[in-house]
Structure 1
Amino acid sequence: MGKEKQLTHDQVAAIAALCKAGKANKEIATITGLALRSVQRWAKKTRDAGGADPPLQNKPTGRPRKTTPRTLKVLRRQVDASPRITAPQLKEKNPKLLGHVSVRTVRHRLHDLQFSHHNARKKPLVSIKQKKNRVAFCRKYLQWDVEKWKNVLWSDEATFTVTGNRLGKVYRRPGSDTLDPNFIHGTVKHPDSLMV
């Protein structure tokens, strides 16, 4: 069973007034723009109260959150500025906001903010000089047409190793020895290789 939606005091008063006026639940839902199920629930509470003042809403169950919307804004801003920051670091960096909550709560709030944890993508490390050279290369050949590019020989390179580099997969029964020669793949630190 889902959580009961909390209506404002004005919304409950509007339902009660329309209910006393003899309006049907569907009509009340159309007028107030509220869900029919909510209207049915509060109309029944109004009738059960004998048409007196609008019934009070039940107090929400459970302990209220220890973090505030301001805390979420701070977390969002800091994670956007530094994506590599960890939940313990966030807690340590904001003792006033997060000193009274656990690291697990910080992780939950990050999840609420739609942040998901991933391994950083691996890309070749490029120096500032290399970046400038790449941009210069692109600008140099930016105006070339198809005819000029037809005179360029495109090549690639590949490295071949003598020992082989395919790890492959094996089938093992539960409880079998993982170090059995049939289940291992021998490796060498510096295999003989040839680049072509």
Structure 2
Amino acid sequence: MAAGVTPEPEVVLETARLLLRPWRVTEAAVQRELWTERDPRVPPHRRIDAEGRPTVAEIEESIRTNRPWSSRLLAVERKATGDVIGYCGLVDSEKVPDGEPELAFELLRRVWRQGYATEASSAVLDWARSSGYERLWATVWEWNVASRRVLAKIEFTETGRMEVHAVHGTNLFTTKQL
């Protein structure tokens, strides 16, 4: 964790339309649905494998044990309907310098193009800023035009750094000063 950053044990963020909060075990099926919707160009370790893994039970266990990858990826719940539509939060990354976190978000396809990703990401940026972070990163596949658009709206800029994968495409590195 970067110097001067204050960790928060349980984060709940609120926007006009959304509540961002820790995942509940009963919402594992939503996470699994996200896995099933992923573009086939996404690397295999982030998609459902040939044996159908991760299963809902495996995802339930990861939520129950609050594994580090899930503890700062908050469930995005629509306040009007109470349904969870994806996640948004911060992840630790070995790819970026100085222990700075990455912004990560993913929403169910049925709610795309409604501004939820931008709204949730803005709330996470405010949380990161108030927690003492000075800069955030985000990596995005070059072919993921929708996510690149969200990052541009919240003023992330492309750094020129990229990782080229022969099968999956080019991963772009973006950053934002807070």
TM-score, with length taken from structure 1: 0.17
Bigger proportion of residues as strand:
2
Bigger proportion of residues as helix:
1
TM-score, with length taken from structure 2: 0.18
Q: Which has the higher contact order (CA 8 A, sep 6+)?
A: 2
